Structure 1
Amino acid sequence: MPADHDHPHDHDHHHHHHDDAPSMDDIRKVLKELPGPDLESATAALQREQNLLKPRGALGRLETLVQWLATWQAKAPPELTHPRIAVFAGAHGVAAHGVSAYPASVNAQMVQAFINGHAAVNQLATAADADLRVYEMDLARPTADFTHGPAMDEARCARATAYGMMAVEPGLHLMCLGEMGIGNTTSAAALCAALFGGTGADWVGPGTGVDEEGLKRKAAVVDAGLAANPQALTDPFEALRCLGGEELAAIVGAIIACRLARVPVLLDGFACTAAAAVLHKADPKALDHCVVAHKSAEPGHARLLAAINKQALFDFGMRLGEASGAALAIPLLRSALACHLNMGTFADAGVSEKAAGGPVSLH
C-alpha cells in the first residue's frame, strides 16, 4: 500500500529556542512515569484461555501473545483491527566511510519507493491489512560522523526522539516499528557495543551485503566511534546521542509514547532492536510492552536479543529492515487472537475437561 508521508524537516536551523525544545532530560523523566501492566486484563485473558476447547497451554506462544496484547492494551479481549506500521528513515554521517554496499543517495530513493508502494513493506502491509506511515527525518542533513565525536547534539537527538513520540496516536491496537537508513547497522553495532560491551568485531555484520573488507572497515569505524565518544559508555541516552541516528532516536520516542498510550509494540530486526535496547539499559521493564518479531540474519541480533532477554517470534533469515519482519508478524497475532475469540469452551461443548471417550462420528 502507498504510505502516508511526513517530513519533520526542521528548517529553523539558525535560531533554536532551547527553552521550549525538548531535552534528553525530559525523556529521562518520562521513563520514570511509565505505566505498568494491566493485571486485570491479563487475568481476564488468561481465564478465558483456560476454558477454551483444548488442553491447557496447547497453543503455546499463541496463548501468551494474546495475554500480552490484553495486558498492554489494558483491554480483554484485546483488539487488532487498527494495526499501524511506522518506518523512520534517517541519514548517517558514518556512511561516508563506505560501511554499506549502497550509497547514501539510496535513502531518498527508498523513501520514494515507500510512498509509491513499491517496497517490500508496502506488500506486507497490504497483506496484513495494516496502515503504513513513513517518517522521513532530515535526510539532506546527515548526522555527524561519530568517529570524530557525537553524531548529534542534545537538541537534535531530543527533537528526533520527540518526533517519534508524535507518531503515536490514540486508538491504535498495535504499533510495528522499523527503519531505513544507509549506515544504520554500523550505528546499531556501535550502540550495542556502548550499551553491552564488546568491540566492533563482536557486533558488526554484512548489513546490506558488504564483503570481508567492508566488515573490517565497519568494525574499525565502530571502534573509532567508541574511542571518540567515551561518554557513550556511561549513559544509554548519551550512547543514543553520540552513536545513534535520527531514525533510531525516533524509534526510542515511539516506544515510550506507545507505552503511555497503551499500544503494544512489535519490533523489527537489528537496528530497530538496538534502538529499543537504549530503553532496556535505562530501565529493564521499559520494553515489557514490546515483542521482537524476528531474529535478523544480521549476526549481532542474536547476541542483542540475549542481552535484552527477548525471544523473537520467528527466524526467516530476513535482514531487510523497513519493519518487514514486524509487519509479517501481524497475521500471526491475528491468528492467535482468532483462536482466543472464536474457539468454543468446554462448557459450551458439554465436554468434560478430563473426558477421554472413544471416537465420535461426525455425520
Structure 2
Amino acid sequence: MLPSATGLPFDDIRALIAAMPSADAAAVAAVRAREAQLTKPAGSLGRMEGLAEWLSAWQGREVPEVRRPLVAIFAGNHGVTRHGISAFPSSVTQQMVENFAAGGAAINQICIAYDLGLKVFDLALDLPTGDITVEPALDEAACAATMAFGMEATAGGIDLLVLGEMGIGNTTVAAAVAAGLFGGPATDWVGPGTGLDAEGVAHKAAIVQQALACHAGHLDDPLEVLRRLGGRELAAIAGAILAARMSRIPVLIDGYVATAAAAVLWRLDHHALDHCQFGHLSAEPAHGLLLAKLGRKPLLDLGMRLGEGSGAALAAGLVKAAAQIHAGMATFAQAGVSGRSE
C-alpha cells in the first residue's frame, strides 16, 4: 500500500482509490479495429464482444487472453449469528471450508469444468466479528488489515480474478452494509439467505434495523459502513478488488454479499468498479436492487443463490470464451471471406 498521510489505517485505502489506473485506450482501439474485421456481422455476438473489449482494456493487451484465472473464496464468521438470523449454525462455515479443500463443493466442480484455479482464504473463523447490533464488526485497524490480506488474492500472475465468499450470516451483514450505503428500511435489503421462512426473514430485518440504529451517525463514510456493519470476508473482497485494479486484473464479482463489498468501493469512487463485471443475478431478492444502484447488468441469471463464487465462476466460462473467440477467429482477409457489400 501507499504510505498514509496521517497514520490512520483507512488513509492507505483512500490513497489507493485516488491512484487507480484507467482503462488502456490503445488496447481498446486495437480490439475494436480487429473486431470489425472478424468473420461475422458487426455486433452479432452481442455482449461477448464487449467482454473481449473489457478484458483488453484492463489487461492492457491488444488481444485479450485468459490463461491464469483464479477463483478466490473468502470465509468469515459473524457475531450477529447469535440472534438466530440463519437457517444454519456458524460451524457450517468451517465445515464448508473443509469441503472446499476436499474438492466436494459445487465451486470445485465448476472450477474443474472451466479450468479455473481455486484458493480459499480462512479469515479467523474461530474469532467471529463483533455483534453489529451492539458494537462494530471490526475496528479500523483490523478492517484495513483484512483488506490488505484480501489483496494477496492477486499474487501469482493471474489474469482474471473471480471473487466469492462463504460465511453463515453474511447475507445479514450484506443487507446491513447495503442499507448503510444506500439507505432505505432493512426490509428492502433482507431475504431468505440460506432458507429462512417469512417469519425468519422478518426477524432478520429487525436485527438489521437494530444494527443500523446502533451505528446511526457513523455511516456517512463507506469505509465506516464496511467496518461497523460488514465482516472479514467483505473487507477482504473489497481489498482484492482494489488490488486487482492496481495490477490491471479484470474481476468477476459473484452474488449479493460480494456485490455489497464492491459497493463500498463504488461509494468511494463511482469508477472504482470499472474493471469489474458482475457474474450473475442472485435469487436473493435485494441483489437486483443493489445492482440497479450500481447501474450494472449481470452476465447470467440462473436463479442461483449458493454463494461460494459459483455464479461468477460460471460467468468466467463466458469470459474465457469471449477471449478465445476474439483471439482465434479469422479475419475476412485471412479466411478469404467477402466482407460486407458497400
TM-score by length of 2: 0.96
Corresponding residue for 1:318? 304
- For the pair 1:228 / 2:214, whether they are aligned, the reply is yes
Describe the SS at the equivalent of 1:95: helix
Equivalent of 1:210 in 178, 196, 211:
196
Q: Measured at CA, do residues 332 and 140 of structure 1 come closer, stay the same or move farther in structure 2, by a change above 3 Å?
A: same
Displacement of 1:112: 0.5
Equivalent of 1:248 in 211, 234, 240:
234
Corresponding residue for 2:142? 156
Equivalent of 1:302 in 288, 292, 303:
288
Displacement of 1:22: 7.6
Corresponding residue for 2:63? 77
Equivalenced residues, count: 339
Displacement of 1:170: 4.9
Equivalent of 1:96 in 82, 105, 112:
82
Corresponding residue for 1:64? 50
Corresponding residue for 1:257? 243
CA–CA separation in structure 2 for the residues paired with 1:292 and 1:22: 31
Displacement of 1:303: 0.3
CA–CA separation in structure 2 for the residues paired with 1:81 and 1:349: 26
Letter matched to residue 56 of structure 2: A
Deviations 1:250-278 (A, max 9, x none): 00000000001111000000000000000
Letter matched to residue 23 of structure 1: P
Ranges of 4+ aligned residues in structure 1 off by more than 3 Å: 349-352
Farther off after superposition, 228-237 or 116-125: 228-237
Equivalent of 1:135 in 116, 121, 124:
121
Preserved contact between residue 74 and residue 121 of structure 2 (Cα < 8 Å): yes
Displacement of 1:332: 1.0
Q: Measured at CA, do residues 232 and 305 of structure 1 come closer, stay the same or move farther in structure 2, by a change above 3 Å?
A: farther
Equivalent of 2:151 in 165, 183, 190:
165
CA–CA separation in structure 1 for the residues paired with 2:128 and 2:8: 20
Q: Structure 2: 5+ residue runs without aligned partners?
A: 1-6
Corresponding residue for 1:176? 162
Displacement of 1:297: 0.1
Letter matched to residue 227 of structure 1: A
Displacement of 1:288: 0.2
CA–CA separation in structure 2 for the residues paired with 1:33 and 1:263: 15
Larger Rg: 1
Displacement of 1:331: 1.5
CA–CA separation in structure 2 for the residues paired with 1:199 and 1:146: 16
Q: Percent identity?
A: 53
Equivalent of 1:333 in 300, 319, 327:
319
Displacement of 1:350: 3.4
Preserved contact between residue 64 and residue 326 of structure 2 (Cα < 8 Å): no
Q: Structure 1: 5+ residue runs without aligned partners?
A: 1-20, 357-363
Corresponding residue for 2:270? 284
Displacement of 1:231: 4.0
Deviations 1:268-320 (A, max 9, x none): 00000000000001000000000000000000000000001110001000001
Letter matched to residue 313 of structure 2: A
CA–CA separation in structure 1 for the residues paired with 2:186 and 2:91: 25
CA–CA separation in structure 1 for the residues paired with 2:72 and 2:13: 20
Displacement of 1:343: 1.6
Describe the SS at the equivalent of 2:162: strand
Describe the SS at the equivalent of 1:144: coil
CA–CA separation in structure 2 for the residues paired with 1:265 and 1:53: 29
Q: Measured at CA, do residues 207 and 153 of structure 1 come closer, stay the same or move farther in structure 2, by a change above 3 Å?
A: same
| Aligned alpha-carbon RMSD (Å) | 1.7
Equivalent of 2:18 in 22, 27, 32:
32
CA–CA separation in structure 2 for the residues paired with 1:72 and 1:28: 21
Corresponding residue for 1:107? 93
Displacement of 1:211: 0.7
Letter matched to residue 122 of structure 1: N
Preserved contact between residue 65 and residue 327 of structure 2 (Cα < 8 Å): no
Letter matched to residue 182 of structure 2: F
TM-score by length of 1: 0.91
- For the pair 1:190 / 2:146, whether they are aligned, the reply is no
Displacement of 1:28: 1.2
Preserved contact between residue 88 and residue 137 of structure 1 (Cα < 8 Å): yes
Displacement of 1:128: 1.0
